[in-house]
Amino acid sequence: MFNSTNKESLSGVVDIPNFNIDTIKTLVRFLYSNQIDPEQITPDLLMAADEFMVKELKSICAEGLSRMVDITNVIEYLILSSRHEADRLKEATYEFVVANIDEVQELPEWKDMSKTNPEIIASLFVELATKFNEFIVSK
């Protein structure tokens, strides 16, 4: 990259517009050390790991975020897990929604999501129906 005549080689700067500097530093640190401080796991880091195809970091982020799901972030994490195919995080958000459906359905973000991301609601419904069917068959 820096041996050609593109703008990065001329300026010595690589612009990564979608992510803040702390996210990129954490990503690069992980690439060199294969370690991450759990305090540095954020939705942005999961997105960066996905965009730059760092599968192990993406998996670590999904697992870490799955332990942080609560009423304040469940909709954000539902959308994040769907857009970035973070299965462990999706599973955790589905479990949270099922356990807290009365609270979740009252969130303005839930109502917005049903309009802006109906495929997530449909996917959640299919997952619930599958689990319910498995439960009934096992009885």
For 90-114, the pLDDT digits (tens) are 999 999 998 999 999 999 999 999 8
Domains delineated in the chain: 7-138 (3.30.710.10)
pTM: 0.84
pLDDT digits (tens, 9 = 90+) for 45-55: 999 999 999 99
Give the C-alpha distances (Å, rounded to integers) separating 38 from 30, 63, 71, 77, 115. 12, 10, 21, 17, 34
